[in-house]
Structure 1
Amino acid sequence: MEALLAALAAADWAAVAAVGGLVVVIILAAKAGLAMGHKDRTNGPPVVPGLPIIGNLHQLKEKMPHKTFAKWCDIYGPIYTIRTGISSVVVLNSAEVAKEAMVAKFSSICTRKLSKALSVLTRDKTMVATSDYGDFHIMAKRHIMAGVLGSSAQRKFRNTRDMMIENMLRTYHKLVTDDPNAPQNFREVFKAELFRLSVIQSLGVDVSSVYVKEFEREVSKEEIYQTIVVDMMMCAIDVDWRDFFPYLRWIPNTSFETRVLRTESRRTAVMRALIHQQKKRIACGEAKVCYLDILLAENTLTDEQLTMMAWEEIIESADTTLVTTEWAMYELAKNPEKQDRLYREIQDVCGDEMVTEDHLPRLAYLNAVFHETLRRHSPVPLIPPRFVHENTKLAGYDIPGGTEIIINLYGCNMNKEDWKEPEEWRPERFMEGSFEDADMYKTMSFGAGRRACAGALQATTISCTAIARFVQEFRWRLKEGDEDKVDTVQLTSYKLHPLYVYLTPRVGK
């Protein structure tokens, strides 16, 4: 109840015409909530007890609901029901049930349910990751696979990825040479080169700056990154308390609305400026192998679709790959014996040759390091909610149409029934014979079925090649006192504290 009162107290009451009307609505909602609680749930999933009106919201105020969901799994099992306001939500916390929902029951469970912030930022689902499964989703995914993320397209960007990793290594070597005793900020170097790759793949060229008409000035590369990547990620996890109480949507939440609309308009202004700049290049006859040129050649997309699809490729390439690679290097720096095992494998497979993408299929322990990092530090702890279209059965329970479903990937990957000592980061679990190649996706981090992540191949290739080259070139050690710095930014897996490491060049490298 305190959470609701705090939210209501923060509302812009100057625009509320009648407080009495609010009281009536709340009373009616309370009665409706109590009535819902008395419905026959003979074969429904277990229900987590909550309060009238607000349901279980008061138990989720720590901003890391995926961890609370995982704890409830120990009490109520891998599938249970909670209430957020007056809405009932079924939460899935095991890979077996999640796969059933995403694959076997896909036709009944495939529509996205977005928060107010995500609805605005995605222009009402005008992007592959958040769109409902239908004609637009199929068309957009076909374009992004053919243009950037499919195996054929990935081969075209091989030289760009190689350049990205060489640039990072060159920068790390220079930093160590300039000050060998200083800890280095891993994220700053990796982030800059990953963003460069995403921009080249999407727009065709690296961009140092762009003139934005709406800003009436030139915008630097750093501000471009801040506007179309960082600000968008932070805004996407912003919560409008009215999402939980749709019957109170008439109450203004001015600060939230202003923040989201401003972030979205700035993103759109910068993206349109970038696209306009590249259209001038194309008009001069300078074609590039890139996503934008392919989209423009289609000549079937609206300006909004073009803007959103070009932006989606950039933000998704510049986000989850960074999260996974930073956590992998944190764990390897923290566990020198595992780092040494990986280095020995690289020596055995590659000898004096530098690691390339061609070596990846033969580096089994590297593959285990990558997938164990995905398991322990799921890049997306919670999959955006979905709606059940029609009455269906899930894990033996009856799920009525209209129910909202949340898949807790963190809970799936920390489920004690599936993973021994899940709190431990132990790549060896993927080397023990219980996982065949197809089972490497047991972590569910790339989803499953027809909505599996389109960027799985690129993320795996970039992250694994980078990890191998980093360990081949340097010995990694954590900055003193950083061993327990594992906090994340709210409900994401983005590391709250950037990774700082001491780097020692390997002898002969």
Structure 2
Amino acid sequence: MEVFSATIASIFFIIFIYIFFIKDQSSTKGLPPGPKPWPIVGNLLQLGDKPHAQFAELAQTYGHDLFSLKLGSQTVVVASSPAAATQVLKTHDRILSGRYVFQSFRVEKHVNNSIVWCECNDNWKMLRKVCRTEVFSAKMIESQAHLREAKAMELVEFLKGREGQVVKIIEVVFGSLVNIFGRLIFSQDVFDLGDPTGGSAEMKDHIWQMLEMGNSANPADYFPFLGKFDLFGQRRAVANCLQQIYDVWGAMLRERRRAAKEGAGSHPLHDFVSILLDAGLDDQRINALLMELFGAGTETSSSTIEWAMAELTKNPSIKEKLRREMESVLGKERVKESDIPRLPYLQAFVKETLRLHPATPMLLPRRALETCQVMGYTIPKDCQIMVNAWAIARDPKIWKDPLKFSPERFLGSSLDFKGNDFEFIPFGGGRRICPGIPLATQFIGIIVATLVQNLDWSLPNGMDPSELVMEEKFGLTLQKEPPLLIVPKSIYF
């Protein structure tokens, strides 16, 4: 009996090896070159906690344009040059427009109604159109500029109230951005900066929890056959968190539907929810879209602003240049969003922050809808494709002194981040480009400008700015590690 059991176990082991190694080898002909994979685990053991940086090193060895590797049973192709990014995001954009959905986020109702995760089908096209022509239109963004300006000043006043105290800036900026989105979406605040336990603080906490779960590893992403079992409960945790977030604004959404149906109010609110209701979207679509506005918008922008403040802390001469530019152009007037086009150094500073610290260093992974040829290599159907925007933005073949933070490199340059210059793609490109670019850049510009104009700050315990650690923590967004701690100080201009 023991011999029989051992024989059966051996047979299953051989089948396992065949499925995940031997058979797979026959399907990798024509792939870009890459490191030799180990049986079963592939190249997983060669990666650490900063895959964006390790992928950049692998590109130097195996292919500056494209290289491939195995992550468990998954075949992954990485593009690491502007030429390769152009092929993926433009030339073969349609065929490579599929989205690889992380296993933890495969909550069916959310994915099917998501502008980020769903396939480029009719539903996705409709959601993109609503975002492009209504939610993120120039007219809509301009009409709400005063809200963002007011919230930026609220952030300043909060920090002035903490003068002399140590503040973790990422938490304060994140809370402010949650409130900005609350105003833009629902015409009301979501979070009280002065009372982190009151109001709708659970909204901020749920979003933060959701993003943390997105940053955690899931073995099923490397061995998809494990996905249907949800062995570690990550998908259930995400589904529960999503429902808790939906419940926070559920009552507001129901009241707005009722008011819209009855035609209540002589002065209807003109915010994102009113646009989505007028567009005839159902609750599932609205919930998914609002979640992505709150989640992706707050996390990426707050991370970018933290990096911006860290660079200003480490480079005080740049902070002084920004301040002098605003004094020269604005005098004693408080900065507004409409002033930003007149502040070229501020615009160059924002671009340089996005270059050196892209919020999503590998963008979000794409998936080949069918087998195709890219730069002479075969990309098999369902293969994951990653574009290493971080590596491209630090390539010495493209950028002079790429590791130096220098806004001056963008002065007088037409290079932009709108998806046409593939050496600078912090927001991606092609049909999957981030739809919120116009809004995100307004957030970053007005908050940085308002902070610089109204505040100074130093590091705790008299630490010299040159000692500031600028390490990265890889996740859905590229976070600063350790988080930036500052001691704010009021200035009067």
Verify same fold: TM over 0.5: yes
Q: Report the equivalent of 2:373.
A: 393
Please name the residue that 1:499 is paired with: 484
- How far apart, CA to CA, are the structure 1 residues paired with 2:399 and 2:108? 36
1:381-420 alignment runs, 5 A limit: 381-420=361-400
Matched, 1:195 2:178: yes
CA distance in 2, matches of 1:76, 1:233: 33
Could you say which residue in structure 1 is the equivalent of 2:22? Answer: 34
Residue in 2 aligned with 1:266? 244
Could you give the per-residue CA deviations for residues 100-138 of structure 1, whole angstroms, max 9, x where no partner exists?
211121121101111211222872242112221121111
1:478 maps onto 2:459 in alignment? yes
Q: 2:404 aligns with which of 424, 443, 451?
A: 424
Q: CA deviation at 1:417?
A: 2.3
Contact residue 381 and residue 492 of structure 1 kept, 8 A: yes
Q: What is the rounded CA distance, in whole Å, between the counterparts of 2:290 and 2:119 in structure 1?
A: 19
Please tell me whether the aligned partners of residues 114 and 384 of structure 1 are also in contact (alpha carbons under 8 angstroms).
Answer: no
Gaps of 5+ in 1: 1-17, 210-217
C-alpha deviation, 1:157, in angstroms? 1.0
Task: Sort the Cα spacing of 1:113 and 1:170 in 2 relative to 1 into closer, same or farther, 3 A.
Answer: same
Equivalent position SS for 1:501: strand
What's the CA shift string for 1:41-72, capped at 9, x where partnerless?
A: 3x531122120111111222x33322221111
Residue of structure 1 equivalent to 2:349? 369
> Which among 196, 206, 211 is matched to residue 233 of structure 1?
211
CA contact (8 A) 1:128 1:140 kept: yes
Q: CA deviation at 1:224?
A: 1.4
Alignment of 1:143-158 (within 5 A): 143-158=130-145
Matched, 1:52 2:72: no
What amino acid is the match of 2:59? C
AA partner of residue 67 (structure 1): A
1:222 paired to 2:211: no
Distance 1:199 1:251, change over 3 A: closer
Q: Does 1:83 align with 2:81?
A: no
- Once the two structures are superposed, what CA deviation does each residue of 1:178-218 show, in whole Å capped at 9, x if it has no partner? xxx33333234322221111012222322469xxxxxxxx9
Distance 1:320 1:255 in 2: 26
Residues 1:182 and 2:161 aligned together: no
CA distance in 2, matches of 1:145, 1:434: 23
1:488: how far off?
2.3
Q: How many residues are matched?
A: 475
Q: Which residue identity does 1:34 align to in structure 2?
A: I
2:78/2:388 contact within 8 Å kept: yes
Q: Distance in 1 between matches of 2:178 and 2:423?
A: 29
Aligned to 2:302: 322
Residues 207 and 221, structure 1, Cα contact 8 Å, conserved in 2: yes
1:76 Cα deviation from its structure 2 partner? 1.3
Contact 1:125-1:131 at 8 Å conserved across structures:
yes
Partner of 2:269: 288
- 1:277-316 to 2 correspondences below 5 Å: 277-279=255-257, 282=260, 285-286=264-265, 287-299=268-280, 301-316=281-296
What TM-score do the two structures reach when normalised by structure 1? Answer: 0.85
Alpha-carbon offset, residue 320 of structure 1: 1.2
Letter in 1 for 2:441: T
Alignment partner of 1:138 is 2:125 = yes
Report the equivalent of 1:214: none
For residue 23 of structure 1, report the CA deviation from its aligned partner: 5.9
Equivalent in the alignment of 1:101: 88
Q: Is the 8 A contact 1:474 1:504 kept in 2?
A: yes
Report the TM-score when normalising by structure 2: 0.87
Displacement of 1:463 in angstroms is: 0.7
Letter in 1 for 2:205: Q
Contact 1:475/1:503 (<8 A) preserved = yes
Q: What is the 5 A alignment of 1:5-24?
A: 24=11
Aligned twin of 1:446: 427
CA distance in 2, matches of 1:429, 1:469: 23
Looking at structure 2, the residues matched to 436 and 298 of structure 1 have their Cα atoms a distance apart, in angstroms, of: 32
Q: Give 1:71's match in structure 2, choosing from 32, 57, 63.
A: 57
Cα deviation code 1:13-60 (max 9, x no counterpart):
xxxxx998776444224234234435673x531122120111111222
Aligned CA RMSD, in angstroms, stands at 2.9
Give the distance between the partners of 2:188 and 2:9, measured in 1 at CA.
54
Q: Report if the CA contact (8 A) 2:128-2:435 is conserved.
A: yes
Identity of aligned residues (%): 24
Equivalent positions of 1:312-351 (< 5 A) are 312-351=292-331
What is the CA–CA distance in structure 2 between the aligned matches of 1:39 and 1:441, rounded to whole Å? 30
Greater shift after overlay, 342-351 or 366-375?
Answer: 342-351
**Partner Cα distance (2:185, 2:447) in 1:** 21
Q: Distance in 1 between matches of 2:339 and 2:396?
A: 34
CA distance in structure 1 between the aligned counterparts of 2:412 and 2:8, rounded to whole angstroms = 63
Provide, for residues 126-178 of structure 1, a one-character-per-residue CA deviation record: whole Å limited to 9, x for no partner.
211222112111111122233422211112211211211121122223332xx
CA distance in structure 1 between the partners assigned to 2:136 and 2:337 by the alignment? 16
Alpha-carbon offset, residue 496 of structure 1: 4.1
User: Structure 1 residue 223: deviation in Å?
Assistant: 1.0
Residue 478 of structure 2 aligns with an amino acid whose one-letter code is S
Q: Which residue of 2 aligns with 1:118?
A: 105
